[in-house]
Every structure is written in structure tokens, then in C-alpha cells.
Amino acid sequence: MVSSDTTHISDTPTQEPVSAPGRCELPLDGRCDAEAVSGSNTFISWGARSDVGLVREHNEDSFLLRTPLFAICDGMGGHAAGEVASSIAVKVIAEQAPSTADDVRLGAAIEAANQEVIDAPAKGIGKPGMGSTASAVLIEGNQMAVAHVGDSRIYLLHHGTLVRISHDHSYVEELIDSGQITADEARTHPSRSVVTRALGSDPDMYADHFSLEVSDGDRIILCSDGLSGMVPDDEIESIAVSNVTPQKAADNLVSAALTYGGSDNITVIVIDVLDDGIADQTRRHLTRGVIATFISFLALFAATVAVFFLFVSSEWYLGINGTTVGVYRGIPTTIAGINMSSLVETTSIEIKDLPDAVQDSLAEGIRVKNEDEAHSTVENYRKQIDDANTKAVKKKEDVQSGGTPTTETTTSTTSSGGE
């Protein structure tokens, strides 16, 4: 049974399964009590297949595809019990699971499903003693939250190497952990179906939960023990590596379980990480860094410009304004076509009345400390011109009267003023 927000594929195209060594592959198309679902978005793509197997009459597995949440629940308790328990489990997990990769809350969703399975028989739903495994992942960017109870499994295929990231809650797993049997021996052990922790029996049951990082190109596999109990991990790895799409991988893993005997229901979900968000984060960080640098540069540039214009606005000089002397604020230059000064006052002093040396200096701009000094300098120019004009008039009068022009002795008189 599937709970999914994706399109249900009722007629999956024939694939080319990877055969188990020495075994004939079994075709998947047209099988009863089997279904396949696939989908994708920008960040992940997925494919799933569930099959009743070759021995059981009913499929008691349920699976959930509600991106970014995926789960498999393997029901226990027989017809009208196991499939009910697994169906309740996926429904509650879908309702209670977080929207982010929070493994604690994902584990809590599985624990809530446990209570629902326990309470269901009293409400006339299912049968007493029914139960289910539950394995769920929620992928958000490069983080994957994992929660798990029972003997369904979660694998991670990273750079071509398959790693089981869930721990079976089963009797044979305890024997393996204690070194009493090997993983190969566990597949044929008479107590291989004994689950030590699952939904439906203990109100205090707790789910394993943790988070891990995933990256572009990683492949995640969730499966019921109908796959992992039949097909060795090295062959699961080989099939997972050799199939390009998640749907092909899921189909061929189910086919492999069937060729090994298909003694249990088989459900497989394969998820490919297409974009873990790291590149986007890097781009965002780089963009933010560039923007921050640009803003800092603009701020520094603005501060520099402000200081420069503050300096310019405090400067004064005398310059040429047409034919007269002008009082300017700023500096006598242009930058990038912008005049760095402004005319504050036009005087009546004609440039031509000033000495050549002063005219040349005015052409370059004569710097003064402030506006008062500018006015003082202008008045000095005015006085010099007036004095020069007075002397010229006196000299002319002396010539016209037939007298001898007066010799300028001001300097010598001043310097010998004590005689």
C-alpha cells in the first residue's frame, strides 16, 4: 500500500534487471499485487516498487512518498492485521513528521504511530497483536533526518560504496552483534523473522533517530526485509551502482529478491540526491560577500568623497573672472569634468591694472586661507592700483608744469627714518 503525493504508475515500462548470479531473472510487468511509483523535483528524484513476492498471498507492506519525506512500514500479524498496522503507521508518520530535517521530531512521529497501532484494535480497527516496522527519512538540502524501528533497512550509497545506516531490531542482529553468527548465517537462521522492537506492542517503545549529511550523487535506499533478508548487501550495492535511475534501481532490486525466492513481501524506495543545496548556499554566500564588499566600498568611497568635498568647500582662492578678479570657494581645478570651485564674489578690479606677475598668478589661482583673507588681498590690490594711479597723475602734472618729476624715495626714507 502506498501513500504518496506523486503520480501512481500502473504500467511500468519493462526494465532490464540485474540478474542474481546463477539465477534467472523474473519479469516484473503484469505482476499482481505490485505497484511502482516515481517522481522528481529540483533537489531529489525517487523511484519505488512494492511486490507481494512469490510466497505470501497479501502484501502487508506500506510505503510513503511525500517529498521530502519517505518511509517504509512492514506490517506483521497476518492478513487484515499487518497491512492495517503498516497503513496506520504511514498515515500517522505523514501527519506527525516535521517539515524540516529534525530527527527528534521524526522519531516522535514514529512513536506516535506506535501508540496509534496499539490503540486501533480497541476502536475496531485491525486485530490485537498486530504490528509494523517503520523506517523513515526526511531530506532537506544536505541534511537527512533518519528515524527507525524494526528490521526494515536504510542504506546510503556514497561514491559507489553501500553503507547500512540503520540497525536491525531483531534477534538475529543481536546474535550478529555478539559474534555468535555471521550476516550470511542470519539469512537462513530459523529465528530470522523475530523482531525485538516494533510498532504495536510496547507503549514505551522508542525509535532510533539521528541526522547525517548527504551530498550530490548520493543514493538512499529504504527497503523491507523482503529485500535485505534475501539479497546479500554486496549484490544490493552492485545493482544500486549499475542502474542510472532510481526507478530502475528499485525495479531491479525487487527483481533480484524475486530471483532469490521472493519468500516475503518486497518494498524498495530509492532516492537520488540531485542538489544538496551547498552550491546554492555557496553562491548565496559569495553573492552576499560580493554585495557586502561592494557596500563597504561604496561607504568608503562616499566617506572619501564627503571628506574631499568638505576639504574643497573650506578652500578659497582668487582667480580670473572674465576681465576682473573673482573670489572663489574651492580649488582651481576640474575632476572628471566637474569644476571643483564656485564663484562667490565678483570684484571691480580689472586684471589689466595688475602687474604681469600677479596676472599670471591669478590665472593659476592664488590660494588664501579664508574669505576674509580674500577680501583683504582684494583691498590690497585696489590700494596698489589706486596708489599707482595717483603717482601716475602726479607725475603727469609735474611734467606739464615744467618741473622735475619727483623721485620715489619712500623706501630709503623709511629705512633711514631715524636721521
The answer to whether residues 88 and 119 touch, using CB atoms and an 8 Å cutoff, is: no
Segment (H or E) for 63: strand 61-66
Q: Average pLDDT, whole number, for the chain? A: 85
Q: What is the pLDDT of residues 22-70, one digit of tens each?
A: 444 566 766 766 789 999 999 999 999 999 999 999 999 999 999 999 9
Does pTM top 0.75 for this prediction?
no
Q: At what angle do helices 246-259 and 233-242 cross, to 10 degrees?
A: 140
Q: What are the CA-CA distances from residue 409 to residues 229, 383, 394, 416 (Å)?
A: 127, 19, 15, 11
Q: Which pLDDT belongs to residue 283?
A: 55
Question: What whole-number distance in Å separates Cα of residue 45 and Cα of residue 93?
Answer: 21
Q: What is the pLDDT of residues 93-129, one digit of tens each?
A: 999 999 999 999 999 999 999 999 999 999 999 999 9
Question: What whole-number distance in Å separates Cα of residue 243 and Cα of residue 271?
Answer: 12
Q: Which pLDDT belongs to residue 389?
A: 81
Question: What domains can be seen in the chain, in order of their start residue?
Answer: 2-276 (3.60.40.10), 314-389 (3.30.70)
The answer to whether residues 64 and 93 touch, using CB atoms and an 8 Å cutoff, is: yes
Asked if the model's pLDDT at residue 410 lies above 80, the reply is no
Tell me the torsion sign for CA atoms 365, 366, 367, 370.
Answer: negative
Q: How many CA atoms lie within 13 A of 189 on its CB side?
A: 20
Q: What is the pLDDT of residues 268-287, one digit of tens each?
A: 999 999 986 565 555 555 66
- Quick one: cell of 105? 521530531
Q: What is the pLDDT of residues 371-388, one digit of tens each?
A: 888 888 888 888 888 887
The answer to whether residues 295 and 289 touch, using CB atoms and an 8 Å cutoff, is: no
